[in-house]
Amino acid sequence: MKVKKYNLLLIASFVWIIAGFNILHIGIVTYTNYLNIINLFLSILVFLFFWFMIFRKLVFKHTHRIKSFEDDFQYFIKFFDKKSFIIMACMMILGILIRTLHLAPDIFIAIFYSGLGASLFLAGILFGYNYFKIKIYN
């Protein structure tokens, strides 16, 4: 199934917002017993690391890649490249294993998942922003 190439940005937006919301939700629910200023600060550090070192760059990389497609219609799955799908799958598997096998304490889940989920959610927002920016100016 093919879609207009710029709709790939909207698909990416939905995927990342949903993923970010789910991970953020796990972190916030786990936070109930660990809420304090130090842990919030640590979550902010996790957020800043993932946002500036990974997800912000990822959004710009994939937005540029999508814009550079010559064909106006692309398969809907092309909102990411193969490498990004593999990384996403590994992150999901690792996250599920960490939680289900109790490989990390709940305080880690609270701090890490809150920061990671917020940065994923923001990546989804930025994909959506890029989509609407293109729709408005093109």
CB 106 within 8 A of CB 30: yes
Residue-wise pLDDT tens digits, 45-85: 999 999 999 999 999 999 999 999 999 999 999 999 998 89
Residue-wise pLDDT tens digits, 84-114: 899 889 999 999 999 999 999 999 999 999 9
Question: What pLDDT, on the 0 to 100 scale, is given for residue 55?
Answer: 96
Question: What pLDDT, on the 0 to 100 scale, is given for residue 137?
Answer: 82
Domains of the chain, by residue range, sit at: 2-137
Which candidate, 109, 123, 112, places its Cα nearest to that of 44?
Answer: 112
CB 113 within 8 A of CB 27: yes
